[in-house]
Amino acid sequence: MENKEFEGKVVVVTGASAGLGRAIVREFARQGANLGLLARGIEGLEGAKKEVEEYGGKALAIPTDVSDPEQIEAAAEQIENELGPIDIWINNAMNSVFGPFKQLEAKDFKRVTEVTYLGQVYGTQSALKRMLPRDRGSIILVGSALAYRGIPLQSAYCGAKHGIQGFFDSLRSELFHDKSNINLSMVQLPAMNTTQFGFVKSYLPNKPQPMGRIYQPEVAAQAIAYIAKNPRRELYVGYPTVESILGDKIAPGLLDRYLGATGYDGQQTDEPKDPNRKDNLYEPLPGDHGAHGTFEANAWDFSPETWAATHKLISWGAVASLALAVGVLVGKRWS
């Protein structure tokens, strides 16, 4: 029987037209939700809306630039008027620029910050405006391992994700002070096979690529659905995320040097960049681009670490059983 955990729930997804956002839309639609879809790309929004309807849900596609708080507020109002009270708001929209900081234009850095950081702030404001009077609802901020550990060539994006992390800490403290029942969570993600790497503005000589182990966007989408059903403060997706965050706590200076030596080549393929390559920094690229990027062959569709983190009862049971078995064997050996 199909899992319908979100039957009748109203879920808003920003950046819903492509990449991870599109995978999130599919996951919540599969589980019975009605969806408010926010993004700039009209064709991608219409494609996402069609997929929701194929699952039997209702969808409202609203062209929205999340860097504009008035557009987000108008979209939130329209969703509540047409779909009903918003139960879950997922701040996913992002964009980025690849290149050494010394080469970046100030306007590009500003644009990434406005979309990737302030877009989540504005989305949270509009969600809270409606959820606080009802004293219920969930808001999920989509973060990254890069919220803790910055890497070269992505200073604007890393700075924005760091900003989201600080904002998250502050707002959660305020909600606890107010004894609010609103759930605020953050999901930290690894490198993923999404459309991002074909969309971002790049100063690099070769085509950009994810660094390290790559996961399919469905892995992250399922984790986000899990935390929406089982609220917790934070969820790390993928072992590389855990490794990066813990590694930065233990030896940040060593990582500075290591990434300085490996981070440039690690984020580029051997294929030269197309000189006519277009990006979506200021305007969406035409077409419906779906969820996946061009790294299918190297992308994992399962994360053992994430499975363990979201099945703790089973995981701890397995650990206890293993410990018991080892104890029995050791006891027999020495008896």
Average pLDDT of span 187-213: 96
Higher pLDDT among residues 265 and 305, named by residue: 265
215's enclosing H/E stretch is strand 214-215
Residues written for the chain: 335
pLDDT tens digit string along 102-127?
A: 999 999 999 999 999 999 999 999 99
Report the distance separating Cα 264 and Cα 242, nearest Å. Answer: 22
> What phi and psi values does residue 141 have, to the nearest 5 degrees?
-95, 130
CA distances in angstroms from 288 to 43, 48, 284, listed in the order given: 5, 9, 11
pTM of the model: 0.93
Model confidence at 3, pLDDT cuts 50, 70, 90, reads: confident
Q: Is the dihedral of CA 163, 166, 169, 174 positive or negative?
A: negative
Nearest residue to 193 via CA among 221, 154, 229? 221
Nearest-angstrom CA–CA distance, 156 and 136: 34
Question: Domains of the chain: which residue ranges?
Answer: 10-302
Percent of the chain with pLDDT over 90: 91
With a cut of 70, say whether residue 332 has pLDDT above it: no
Beta-bridge partner residues of 215: 192, 300
| Rg (the chain; Cα; Å) | 21
Note the pLDDT of residue 331.
Answer: 55
Annotation says 239 is catalytic: no
AA identity, residue 234: E
Catalytic residue among 148, 157, 215, 226: 157
Look up the CATH number of domain 10-302: 3.40.50.720
| Whether 269 contacts 197, CB under 8 Å | no
Give the Cα-Cα-Cα angle 293, 298, 301 (nearest 5 degrees): 80
Under 8 Å between Cβ of 20 and 142: yes
- Hey, is 33 helix, strand or coil? coil
To the nearest whole number, what is the mean pLDDT of the chain?
A: 94
Report pLDDT digits (tens) over 61-114. Answer: 999 999 999 999 999 999 999 999 999 999 999 999 999 999 999 999 999 999
pLDDT digits (tens, 9 = 90+) for 145-181: 999 999 999 999 999 999 999 999 999 999 999 999 9
